[in-house]
Amino acid sequence: MTATIGQSVDSLDTPVLIVDLDALDRNLGRMAAFAHEAGVALRPHAKAHKLPLIARKQLELGAVGITCSKLGEAEVLVAGGILGILISSEIVGPTKIARLIALARHARLTIVVDDAENAAAISAAAVDAGINIAALVEVDVGQRRCGVQPGQPAVDLAGVVARLPGLTFTGLQGYEGHLQHVYDRAERKALCDAAMEKLVATRAAVEASGLPVGIVTTAGTGTAEFAVLHEGVTEIQPGSYIWMDCNYARVAGTPYESALSVIATVVSRQRPNDVIVDAGWKALSTDGGMPVALDCPDLTYSPAGDEHGRLTVADGGTLPESGDRVAIVPSHCDTTVNLYDWLIGVRNGVVETIWPIPGRGKTT
Amino acid sequence: MTATIGQSVDSLDTPVLIVDLDALDRNLGRMAAFAHEAGVALRPHAKAHKLPLIARKQLELGAVGITCSKLGEAEVLVAGGILGILISSEIVGPTKIARLIALARHARLTIVVDDAENAAAISAAAVDAGINIAALVEVDVGQRRCGVQPGQPAVDLAGVVARLPGLTFTGLQGYEGHLQHVYDRAERKALCDAAMEKLVATRAAVEASGLPVGIVTTAGTGTAEFAVLHEGVTEIQPGSYIWMDCNYARVAGTPYESALSVIATVVSRQRPNDVIVDAGWKALSTDGGMPVALDCPDLTYSPAGDEHGRLTVADGGTLPESGDRVAIVPSHCDTTVNLYDWLIGVRNGVVETIWPIPGRGKTT
């Protein structure tokens, strides 16, 4: 990384991952204010940024804790001084459980379970270590990924968890990840409402079985505004609102700004209707669709290999010259941030921060 | 990374990137023998492995040098003691050119150019530094990415480069990257032959203009066997042959073995026809299509988010249990290796090497 604090953004070597710090600040503030006004807890998902410092900013704005997907991300956050963490994916197998128990000595962890045998294994390890871990039962509210079915299966597993020593049953997680990118707002609301009805009905059923449910955690950037309207939902765990990639920008009604981009340079211009830039699959993930050239509606990005991308110009549009720089908005913030070691924070066109990304690549 | 030398592969934490060292050794040897027998130089492409040690193995087996895509990769290779490097992408802009000149003091670099202004800028910087850099003219043999058109445009640029101080015109590069995954062998051969005819005709035209052409470099794993049959092609630069991802495995006639896999663990089993594993977009790239479960023809992999994948079982097939481990063959070796900090080498089921991947993420 050859960036220097105070350097003009226009002179940064490329490809480079840039954050607009003003937009980041506004996004952080908007979501914090939204959760406060809605009367729900905010537990932002660190998968979007992978950076303890941004987690700290979220906590200082009122978040009750931080969510992450994997134990490896939690290890990085704890090492960065972030101690209250929900790990939103199941932790399975003896190696993972040993890491969980070790980490729990240094942090306040909450885990999710969707299987009685797995819960029993974690319970036994916690008892051996003389510790206690908070556990949520994960409920499948329609994503068809992890989680038991709503209703009786969740009630049954909650009962198992509540009886296991070394675990404290604290509530439910139900994530409607499959609805985050339903672009139409009315359609997204209707689908989210149906998912939330399953979740709060499950809450009621668990409580009717005699178990108190302290936490019902759910929602992402696309569904937070609908999830909070359901009584019984206690908290939301959005992540992407801080960056708003170009796929989330299509999700109607989300009031967050584009804050993340990759600056690329034109390295070859050989044809009348396209140029080649120095950002390909290794610089811009494409699992969320195609990245978009910022403020260049005439240009269409497509990958042209590991290290190259193609910008094709529409009829009548202007093609950049060799050596020109183009800002490109990622289509999926999580997986694009995961490609970089450094995140360069810019304000007023000048480099203000050079942040390493310690959670990058933490998949285990 | 929690791996230990001597550990059983079955006890490694997941997801983990594994190389079968025996298969790697055989692949390295096969390509070296092929190039030797064909009478062409081998300059393997490091984009597949990003590891100076594997580059060293390739050199010890007779490679004349190493190819890489970006200056950042070359910097890593040089720091790892690999000194003869072809950078196969154009190097554009003052920051990049300054890095190139600095690196050239420590290594024997060859660059490619497709633009007279860019060549002049590099020439001026080389003269300022009192050094000389070998330069190839890149020719577009049909990929429509970088490179001037075959024939007169290449002759013209070769003349410009030959006259520039600080640069030595040494030959041509023409990469038929668009043909590597034409699965049918006869079709691939026909298309490669047409591309090579453009390249060797350009060689003849440049020589007719009075310039000697020392190097004509081309070909990848899918086309090497056809490219070497064209008189005038002096060297090949394949990379993926060392790993053979599942997309390359479909390319008929390539005699290399699958050597790379990601081991994943089943973390949730909630439905009769699928399970969820701990390897998603962050563990397996999908720009080359879908990864494939190794030796499990009944299982189909699909991503289920940043951190999760889905294995769907065919009717009558057997679904793995929660906690079971599944080896998954990446669909694109370059971009999957780029997701990992460590490559674990296994022989006879035991960890023999734990290699950091210093070229990971080097996109600049």
Pick the residue of B145, B321, B341 with the most A CBs within 10 A to test the interface with A by mutation: B145
Q: Which CATH architecture has domain A24-241?
A: Alpha-Beta Barrel (3.20)
Q: Cα dist. A109→A135, A144, A147, A170, B24 in Å?
A: 9, 25, 19, 12, 41
Residue-wise pLDDT for A91-115, tens only, equals 999 999 999 999 999 999 999 999 9
Q: Is some CB atom of chain A closer than 8 A to the CB atom of B8?
A: no
The rounded distance, in Å, linking the Cα atoms of A155 and A76 is 33
Closest Cα in chain B to A149: B270
Helices B152-163 and B185-208 meet at what angle, rounded to 10?
50
CATH classification of B22-245, choosing from 3.20.20.10, 3.10.20.30, 1.10.287.3510, 3.60.21.10? 3.20.20.10
User: How far apart (Å, rounded) are the C-alpha atoms in residues A21 and A94?
Assistant: 41
Quote the DSSP letter at residue B175. Answer: -
Question: What is the model's pLDDT at position B2?
Answer: 76
Mean pLDDT value of segment A12-32: 98
Subunit contact B361:A339, Cβ cutoff 8 A: yes
Q: What is the pLDDT of residues B98-107, one digit of tens each?
A: 999 999 999 9
Mean residue pLDDT of chain B comes to 97
Minimum distance, in Å, between the CA of residue B37 and any CA atom of chain A: 30
Residues in chain B: 364
ipTM over 0.90: yes
Cβ A92–B265 below 8 Å, yes or no?
Answer: yes
- The pLDDT of A147-152, averaged and rounded, is 98
Per-residue pLDDT tens digits for B21-74 = 999 999 999 999 999 999 999 999 999 999 999 999 999 999 999 999 999 999
Q: How far apart are CA B246 and CA B230, in angstroms?
A: 28
The pLDDT value recorded for residue B172 is 98
Residue ranges per structural domain of chain A:
9-17+255-356, 24-241
Can you spell out the DSSP letters for A59-103?
A: HHTT-S-EEESSHHHHHHHHHTT--EEEE-S---SHHHHHHHHHH
Q: Is pLDDT above 70 for A118?
A: yes
Average pLDDT over every residue of A275-283: 98
Of B146, B149, B322, the CB nearest to A276: B146
Is the model's pLDDT at A318 over the cut of 90?
A: yes
Separation CA B50–CA B46 (nearest Å): 5
CB A180 within 8 A of CB A221: yes
Nearest residue of A to residue B268, measured between CA atoms? A146
The CATH number that domain A9-17+255-356 falls under is 2.40.37.20
B306, B310, B337, B343: which to substitute to probe chain A, counting the most A Cβ within 10 Å?
B306
Contacts of A32 (CB under 8 A, 6+ apart): A42, A58, A61, A62, A63
Dihedral sign (CA B19, B22, B24, B27) = negative
Measure in Å the smallest separation between the Cα of B306 and chain A Cα atoms. 7
> How close is the nearest chain B Cα to the Cα of A25, in Å?
25
Tens of pLDDT, residues A159-176: 999 999 999 999 999 999
Q: Which residues of B touch A339 (CB under 8 A)?
A: 338, 361, 363
Look at residue A32 in the predicted model and tell me its pLDDT.
98
Residue A305: list chain B partners with CB under 8 A: 145, 177
Residue A146 confidence (pLDDT)? 98
For chain A, count helices (H), then strands (E): 9, 17
All residues of chain A having their beta carbon less than 8 Å from the beta carbon of residue B177 are: 305
pLDDT (0 to 100) of residue A34: 98
Put simply, the chain B residues between 257 and 276 with a CB less than 8 A from any chain A CB are 265-271, 276
| A-B C-beta contacts closer than 8 Å | 170
Q: What is the mean pLDDT of residues B147-176?
A: 98
Averaged over B312-324, what is the pLDDT? 96
> What distance in Å separates residue A18's CA from the closest CA in chain B?
14
Helix, strand, or coil here: A216? strand
